[in-house]
Each structure stands twice: as C-alpha cells, then as structure tokens.
Amino acid sequence: MAGHSKWANIKHRKGAQDKKRAKQFTRAIKEISVAVKDGGGPDPETNPALRNAISNAKGVNMPKDTIERAIKKASGAEADNYELVTFEGYGPNGIAIFIECTTDNTNRTVASVRSIFSKNGGSLGTNGSLEFLFDRKGVFTIDRESIARKMEEFELELIEGGATTIEKEDDVIYVYTDFTDFGSMNAKLEELEIEPKNAELQRIPLNTVELPLEDAKKILQLIDKFEEDDDVQNVYHNMEITEELMQELEKE
C-alpha cells in the first residue's frame, strides 16, 4: 500500500505545478455530471456520489460557482450524455495498466487508448483480463490540519468507520477501506465534520513489479500520455514506485 501512497504524492506534487488546470476541471465536471445523472439527482444531501464529486472538485480548487453551474447543467435537458468505460492492457516490461474513462463517444476513446498503447510499446487487452491483479478500495485523502482531536482518537473513529489501513505522510493522511465500506467511511467523516480533500474508489495493485530506473521512467511517461487524454479519469498500474524513482522525480 505504501507504494500506492507514494504515487499519490507524486501526482499531488505534479498537479500543483500543472499549468493545464482546465483538464483537471474538465474531469471534475464529468464526475459531477455522472454523479447527478446516475447517482440520484442534483441534491448533494441525498446524493452521496455527488457529495464526493463536489469534494473532489474542491480538491483541484474549482470555484464554487463553476461547481454549481456544472450541477445545474447536468440536471438539465441538454446535459452531456457521459458513460463510464474501462480499459486494460500491458505497458513495456509487462506492467499492467488499468484505465477508467468518462466519455460521450466510446469509439473515439477506444481508438485513442489503443493508439497510446501501440505507440509506446504496449498492447490493449480484453476487459477482465487484468482486473484480478487489482483490489478495489476506497481511498480518502485528509489534511492533518482539519483534525481537531488527538490522532489516536481519530484513528479509532476511522477504524469504526471501516478503515483497513491508515497512512500518515507529511501533512496528509491516507485512509483505505474495503470497496463495501466506502459509504460507511463517508458517513463517518460527515459525522466527524471532516471534509476529505479527495474520496474515491481506486484500484490498488495486489503485487507490484520493480523495474530499473530508466524503464520505470518510461512507464510513468506512458501514464502521463494517458492522463493527458480528456476522456481518461484515472490510470492505475502495478509498477513499484521505488525510493530511487521518487528521488529522480523530485528533481524534475
């Protein structure tokens, strides 16, 4: 699990430096749209999926009025018709890659994902071929400064809410739950009046593969190319994020 949180930290640092904030907004708006249409309407009080989407939008510093416009548009007659699709494939050196997309044109998205794989030494597989390599978990990112109680007490509350793993790194806490306890943890954090920076279901690799530094950097470059595609919401992989790789990335 620690390897996953390292990758989360890398993404967080890169995101803070990312000049293409519009892409983060686009993805957040898509998440809001899907949550409104499939999760139970435009009221976050009765729609947990929308509450998560709003929280995640705030996590990328989306303005309140932009969030409200996105909710209003998603609940109207002219709302974009997005669907969730997933892709599985292998990158160079046999690294498994699982991609989640939100799209209004599946043919376009399939063609784009296949092209990125083939141009970078990878191959697109069939759905279900790699899913067994990942465990679907709830992952909550919480600012330490938002916790107004002793850490020991807070951890006990989290365990009561379904936490299976709690990782503390610098000023951030990562809380992991089983897939089935995602809603319970959301409810527990609401009860504690703590709003996470991010709350989502992620695919955590059951085992990771360590690569030489230069090969590992090529995998991260491939992942960056997937994440540059506007239809791509999340990219997961089973490559080990080593201390050497972390140090190299911190130089960039």
Which range of residues forms the domain containing residue 29? Answer: 2-74
User: Is the CB of residue 224 less than 8 Å from the CB of residue 235?
Assistant: no
CATH number of residue 109's parent domain: 3.30.70.980
Least Cα distance to 75 among 29, 118, 111, 42 occurs for 42
As to burial, measured by CB atoms within 10 angstroms (0-12 exposed, 13-18 middle, 19+ buried), residue 116 is buried
List all residues 6 or more positions away from 170 whose beta carbon is below 8 Å from its beta carbon.
none
Domain count, the chain: 3
Do residues 122 and 240 share a domain? yes
Do residues 35 and 154 share a domain? no
Evaluate if pTM is beyond 0.75. Answer: yes
Q: What is the pLDDT along the chain (252 residues), one digit of tens a residue?
A: 544 555 554 554 455 445 456 778 888 889 899 889 887 788 888 888 888 889 888 878 889 999 999 998 888 877 778 888 999 999 999 999 999 999 999 999 999 999 999 999 999 999 888 989 999 999 999 998 888 778 899 999 999 999 999 998 888 899 999 999 998 998 899 899 998 888 888 899 999 999 999 999 999 999 989 988 989 988 999 999 888 888 887 776
Do residues 118 and 237 share a domain? yes
pLDDT score at 100:
93
pLDDT score at 249:
76
Do residues 155 and 113 share a domain? no
pLDDT score at 106:
94
CATH number of residue 40's parent domain: 1.10.10.200
Do residues 123 and 219 share a domain? yes
What residue type is 147 in one-letter code? I
Domain end point (choices 40, 55, 74): 74
User: Is the CB of residue 109 less than 8 Å from the CB of residue 89?
Assistant: no
pLDDT score at 57:
87
User: Is the CB of residue 80 less than 8 Å from the CB of residue 33?
Assistant: yes
Quote the CA–CA distance of 120 and 126 in Å, as a whole number: 18
- CA neighbours closer than 13 Å in the CB half-sphere of residue 216: 19
Domain end point (choices 52, 74, 96): 74
